[in-house]
A = this chain, B = another copy of it.
């Protein structure tokens, strides 16, 4: 098998002549974002610990009646750090050890709001359909090891951290959920969001482990640095899941994901950007990276022989802006930190320009969606 390419952006930059490159990038990626400096301390951490740092900036127009609302958003993508045959604690601690310097780099870069990838403290073992030992990674939102680990960083760097984990709900029959914990800048748990849409596709046998929460919720978290929403992984395929967060006022939405190339890569550059365009907010799209191998073989429901490795998680985390632009992506193969400084005022400026809110006809759509959900629904068809 050929080696995975590092990054589409690098290939465009390397081969397309400058006079055409600017126009190609405008069409593919929108108006250019600026770059911001990677401070020495962060660069040193990146060199010492072999992860990539990229740092960009989106401005907004100055306004007379509102000051700029500058926020630095951080996204982290990473491979797992120990063999999946190791004891649970060894695997998790190895990930903690590799994540620590990346969070320190985010702190050095002045990141205000940081999000990690989906189920970040563990391998994405749901392909195996085995309950043992993977269910042991599930942990309590408030007292679990991940929250305790991250709370110290949040407090140290005055940083909001979104931590997507496998949750064990002790109060309700020890039920397992796919959950993002929001830790505020003081290191306190502000709340949690549970994944609204659970996949049953390919190796993503997630409904074997956890279900959709009832009721459907699109909580928006009011933080020191703006209003944050979370759309976990497969939820990105549902425009209404993105819209639900917008209706509750989200200004930054994170999409922590774990998805592999053969299944979804051509969608990756589309969905988060469409959400940013349709909802006038910033989106941070995060995908894990690397190939994970499991002790026992498993089949993938695709007619092919059983095997032990998941496909390639292609990373490529990026930020999509409300003005239809996006940053370059992180690597398809390496751990990385993406920092993007944004002015949240851009959202309302784009909203006032396009008037999508004013022309949305929500009252009528609400009735239509409800009607379509009914068992008595008759589609409107003309002809025949």
Smallest beta-carbon distance A369→chain B, Å:
4
Docked Cα-Cα span, A67 to B100, in Å, equals: 56
A222 touches B384 (CB 8 A): yes
Given A20-B11, A266-B324, A354-B201, are A239 and B28 neighbors across the interface (CB < 8 Å)?
Answer: no
Smallest beta-carbon distance A215→chain B, Å:
6
Give every chain B residue within 8 A of A20 (Cβ-Cβ).
5, 11, 15
Give every chain B residue within 8 A of A237 (Cβ-Cβ).
277-278, 354, 356
Give every chain B residue within 8 A of A273 (Cβ-Cβ).
270
Give every chain B residue within 8 A of A217 (Cβ-Cβ).
380
Smallest beta-carbon distance A228→chain B, Å:
9
Q: Is A305 an interface residue (CB 8 A)?
A: no
Q: Scan residues 315-350 of chain A and give those whose CB is less than 8 A from a CB of chain B.
A: 324-325
Q: Scan residues 239-295 of chain A and give those whose CB is less than 8 A from a CB of chain B.
A: 239-240, 242-244, 247-249, 264-271, 273-274, 277-278
A368 touches B29 (CB 8 A): no
Docked Cα-Cα span, A76 to B242, in Å, equals: 33
B270 touches A324 (CB 8 A): yes
Given A26-B265, A220-B380, are A366 and B366 neighbors across the interface (CB < 8 Å)?
Answer: yes
Give every chain B residue within 8 A of A191 (Cβ-Cβ).
382-383
Map CB proximity to B onto A348-368 as digits: 1 under 8 Å, 0 otherwise.
000001111011111111111
B369 touches A362 (CB 8 A): yes
| Chain A interface extent, by class | 35 or more
Q: Is A227 an interface residue (CB 8 A)?
A: yes
A248 touches B379 (CB 8 A): yes
Smallest beta-carbon distance A279→chain B, Å:
9
Q: Is A221 an interface residue (CB 8 A)?
A: yes
A201 touches B266 (CB 8 A): no
A28 touches B266 (CB 8 A): yes
Q: Is A223 an interface residue (CB 8 A)?
A: yes
Docked Cα-Cα span, A249 to B23, in Å, equals: 38
Q: Is A238 an interface residue (CB 8 A)?
A: yes
**Among candidates B27, B324, B383, residue contacting A190 with C-beta atoms closer than 8 Å:** B383
**Among candidates B238, B364, B367, residue contacting A356 with C-beta atoms closer than 8 Å:** B238
A367 touches B368 (CB 8 A): no
Q: Is A184 an interface residue (CB 8 A)?
A: yes
Given A15-B15, A270-B270, are A359 and B28 neighbors across the interface (CB < 8 Å)?
Answer: no
Q: Is A47 an interface residue (CB 8 A)?
A: no
Q: Scan residues 1-31 of chain A and give those whose CB is less than 8 A from a CB of chain B.
A: 2, 5, 8, 11-12, 15-17, 19-20, 23-24, 26-31
Q: Is A143 an interface residue (CB 8 A)?
A: no
Q: Nearest CB to that of A247 among chain B residues? A: B372
A239 touches B274 (CB 8 A): yes
Docked Cα-Cα span, A353 to B199, in Å, equals: 10
Given A220-B379, A278-B238, A382-B219, are A244 and B365 neighbors across the interface (CB < 8 Å)?
Answer: yes
Q: Is A65 an interface residue (CB 8 A)?
A: no
Give every chain B residue within 8 A of A12 (Cβ-Cβ).
12, 16, 24
Q: Is A69 an interface residue (CB 8 A)?
A: no
B373 touches A366 (CB 8 A): yes
Q: Scan residues 117-170 of chain A and give those whose CB is less than 8 A from a CB of chain B.
A: none
Docked Cα-Cα span, A126 to B270, in Å, equals: 30
Q: Is A92 an interface residue (CB 8 A)?
A: no
